[in-house]
Amino acid sequence: MTFSADFTYESRPVRVVLRSGAAVTATPGEAEHLGLRRLLVVCGSRGEAVARAVADALGDACAGLHAEARMHVPVEDADRAVAVARATGADGVVAVGGGSSIGLGKAIALRTGLPLIAVPSTYSGSEMTPVWGLTEGGVKRTGRDPKVQPRSVVYDPELTVSLPVPLTVTSGINALAHAVEALYAPDTSPLIALMAQDGVRAMGEALPLLAARPDDLDARGRALYGAWLCGACLGATTMGLHHKLCHVLGGTFGLPHADTHTVVLPYALAYNAPAVPGALTVLGRALDADDPARALWDLAGRLGAPRSLAELGLKETDLAEAAVQVAGQPYANPRPVTAEGVREVLQAAYEGRRP
Ligand code: NAD
């Protein structure tokens, strides 16, 4: 990418620990570092065993365990979790799990101002952003607030060994999507380009290793390192067409988050490609490929991930409505977003043909 001496970059204070076993061994120290003495641990029902181990490690500093995180943070779940945090007298929150658990932790932080520690178990990247999301009456609202940005992030490769290969792959490609769109965001910068390049390279190298050997702890660590950098790209920039498409497909049509990112990314990148030669150079270097959109499509297929919106259950008759919703809202994108252009991207993603 050619150097642009014209940018603004804000760095937010966050401590990052990446170490095998860190969920249990490092979380108490992170709480202490932040001066926290009564932490509410939140997680989803599937992650309860790990969250309990974290709660046990906190010992007297654990105010309780709330295992009710669900996808997309329904507002009534947030209400209940806030009530539990207040009733237990918590002075901080530890979210253990994927984007859904971290989302519930953020919802508590948003309402109460309590500091949040994140212990991620997927590659979604939410732990590195000040973005929150809440769903009410079937509509997901999102916003940015520095209060919800986790103060400490504890990455533990051991926590991700149980992540099934299909979710490992799609969650990893979800992370790649953050770096891809950060490279052509209106608020990108040379530092973002560095983080995106190394994040994409790390994740791109780790995923094939993990598809072959899901318990490879070195590769798990490398994937988490990639997720960290890609998540930091997401937190520092404004996303474009790809994230808007996925938001509409997930929010209005109920498609699964990481799978949808995986299917859409090659097509959104192919659409923007003519307008973003610098981003393509960085991605080409990181993926060791001449055509990054095709390389991403090939990677997904090689690792057995879904490649079409049809496979994810979208109906062809939904494409027109999705296109109207995506094209109807103004947002930053390097190439003008037309209804016809969006419709073409969606049709190609629906069919799953090589971009
Ligand atoms: P998720 O948290 O819903 O997890 C997906 C599934 O994987 C769940 O069933 C969960 O129980 C299971 N799981 C998680 N970790 C596991 C592990 N280590 N082993 C076995 N199973 C495990 O999904 P996600 O993809 O992590 O996050 C998606 C959500 O996060 C969406 O709601 C999305 O909007 C949000 N998100 C928010 C941001 C942000 O910046 N606010 C960024 C990315 C994603």
Q: Which residue, by CA, sits nearest to atom 30 of ligand 1?
A: 99
Per residue in 213-247, is it b (16+ CB within 10 Å) or e — as a string? ebebeebbbbbbbbbbbbbbbbbbbbbbbbbbbbb
| 65 and 206 share one domain | no
Q: Please report the atom of ligand 1 found closest to the CA of residue 50.
A: 18
**pLDDT tens per residue across span 32-79:** 999 999 999 999 999 999 999 999 999 999 999 999 999 989 999 999
Task: List phi, psi (to 5°) of 330.
Answer: -75, 135
| 107 and 202 share one domain | no
| 330 and 182 share one domain | yes
Q: Considering all CA atoms of the chain, what is the largest pairwise distance in Å, rounded to the nearest integer?
A: 59
Out of 131, 160, 189, a domain closes at: 160
| 319 and 212 share one domain | yes
Confirm or reject: Cβ of 195 under 6 Å from ligand 1: no
Confirm or reject: Cβ of 97 under 6 Å from ligand 1: yes
Query: In the predicted model, what is the mean pLDDT of residues 297-322?
Result: 97
| 224 and 155 share one domain | no
Q: Which helix (H) or strand (E) holds 64?
A: strand 62-69
Q: Please report the atom of ligand 1 found closest to the CA of residue 47.
A: 11
Return the pLDDT at 330: 83
pLDDT(286) > 80: yes
137 Ramachandran zone, left/alpha/beta (phi>0; psi -120 to 50): left
Residue 272, in any domain of the structure: yes
Contacts of 81 (CB under 8 A, 6+ apart): 42, 66, 68, 104, 107, 108
| 280 and 187 share one domain | yes
**pLDDT tens per residue across span 96-112:** 999 999 999 999 999 99
Q: Which helix (H) or strand (E) holds 35?
A: none
Distances (CA, A) of 2 to 6, 233, 313, 351: 12, 18, 41, 35
DSSP, res 163: S
Q: Which domain holds residue 229?
A: 165-351
Residue 307, in any domain of the structure: yes
Residue 81, in any domain of the structure: yes
| 203 and 319 share one domain | yes
For the chain, the residue count is 355
DSSP, res 74: B
pLDDT(138) > 80: no
- Tokens 């105010």 belong to 63
Which SS3 state, helix, strand or coil, does residue 117 take? strand
* Pairs from 84-90 (Cβ < 8 Å, separation ≥ 24): 84/40, 85/40, 85/112, 85/114, 86/112, 88/38, 88/40, 88/63, 88/64, 89/38, 89/63, 90/38, 90/39, 90/40, 90/63, 90/64, 90/114
Residue 4, in any domain of the structure: no
| 223 and 118 share one domain | no
The answer to whether 170 and 261 are in contact (CB under 8 A) is yes
Confidence of residue 217 (pLDDT cuts 50, 70, 90): very high
Identify the CA nearest to 14 among candidates 124, 169, 125: 125
The answer to whether 185 and 238 are in contact (CB under 8 A) is yes
**pLDDT tens per residue across span 218-277:** 999 999 999 999 999 999 999 999 999 999 999 889 999 999 999 999 999 999 999 999
| 258 and 282 share one domain | yes
Question: What CATH number does the domain containing 252 carry?
Answer: 1.20.1090.10
Residue 134, in any domain of the structure: yes
pTM of structure? 0.97
| 180 and 152 share one domain | no
Question: What CATH number does the domain containing 104 carry?
Answer: 3.40.50.1970
Mutate to test the pocket of ligand 1, among 72, 121, 181, 239 (most ligand atoms within 8 A of CB): 121
Share of the chain above pLDDT 90, in %: 93
pLDDT(166) > 80: yes
* 257 CA from centroid of ligand 1 (Å): 8
Identify the CA nearest to 17 among candidates 32, 1, 36, 35: 32
